[in-house]
Structure 1
């Protein structure tokens, strides 16, 4: 009876393969880790674009229906009360949550920032809460004096959307390391 010669890998060959796989893993792993961060950045940029479009659309409604000066409870998005918006002298959305009948509506509290967000997005998505709230929401609103809001992305506080109601400026800070 003739024995068949067994063939297999030597210890050196196995070590070389393990080293090569280790090198590949070390070079590829950082690329896979950045996928989550890239998705967050894309999400904030898309939400910021939608927010800016909503601000510009509201300003256009104000220009068409009012044209000059402040406006309160102007039906902007639909006919329901939830679609009403307050505008400052320049015609930019400036909800005032706590008071009514201001001479010129302006953002002066975090609740005003939340009200602008919820009116523009007509509901609960993307969700928002106060900056110091423990609520599980997509964004956290922060009032910046005067008449400015910052909406920080909850999963990465370095990603945010900024709104200035004095001139309608909307910008997105999408640098995750800032």
Structure 2
């Protein structure tokens, strides 16, 4: 009779506590890297979108000025014919100053709402903009009532035109449109 001795008397039925702690630690470290990369990608996407909108706004501003000049205008125009739905108002050099400006000076619109009019009158299917929070962008009229700043709100920023992370700025004095803000990868406003 041959007797076999069983050297493995205990069968493995799962993970040890140490193995579980090591796996959890590794997953935690990996998730930190993934979350930081996701945050970077989100910031890059927001900046890319703002640059796209600013580019579209600049094309619209330049087109309004071309229509103004092609029509032979040399002074301020209310409801410029030949552009969009014919509601864009211009200053004396042909840059847009709103859609409900009325007669009067060359300031952009009436208060911060004038900048909303520029945004909606120039851009085709634009992101939402408002004079208060709750929209994708918040508008501010400033610098002698000749400049509009559109602060990106959809990302949760609550800063104003001087302290926001991401701003699209339009200057009706020379037609410039730029992206600026308090981020390290763009110019400060």
Q: TM-score, normalising length from structure 1?
A: 0.77
Larger RCO, structure (CA 8 Å, separation 6 or more): 1
- Following superposition, the deviation at residue 51 of structure 1 comes to 0.9
1:175 Cα offset (Å)? 4.8
Q: Deviations over 1:50-93 (max 9, x none)?
A: 11111111111112112533322211424x4xx33222122211
2:23 aligned to 14, 17, 20, which one?
17
The gaps in structure 2 that reach 5 residues or longer are: 158-163
Aligned to 1:171: 178
Q: Give 5+ residue unaligned stretches, structure 1.
A: none
- Report the Cα offset of residue 169 of structure 1: 0.9
Aligned residues: 169
- Choose from 88, 92, 95 the match for 1:85: 88
Larger Cα-atom Rg: 2
Deviates more, 1:1-10 or 1:52-61: 1-10
User: Which of 140, 143, 164 is the matching residue for 1:142?
Assistant: 140
Shift of 1:174: 5.5
Q: In the TM superposition, what is the alpha-carbon distance from 1:11 to its structure 2 partner?
A: 4.3
The alpha-carbon distance between structure 1 residues 55 and 10, as it changes in their structure 2 partners (threshold 3 A), is same
Secondary structure, aligned partner of 1:99: coil
Indicate if the aligned counterparts of 1:76 and 1:85 stay in contact, CA closer than 8 A.
no
Q: Which residue of 2 aligns with 1:151?
A: 150
Distance verdict in 2 for CA 1:22–1:52, change over 3 Å: same
Residue 119 of structure 1, CA deviation: 0.8
1:106 counterpart residue number: 107
For residues 137 and 122 of structure 2, the distance between their equivalents in structure 1, rounded to whole angstroms, comes to 14
Deviation at 1:24, TM superposition (A): 2.3
Tell me which protein shows more helix as a share of its residues: 1
TM-score (norm 2): 0.73
CA contact (8 A) 2:78 2:101 kept: no
**Aligned counterpart for 2:75 among listed residues 52, 69, 76:** 69
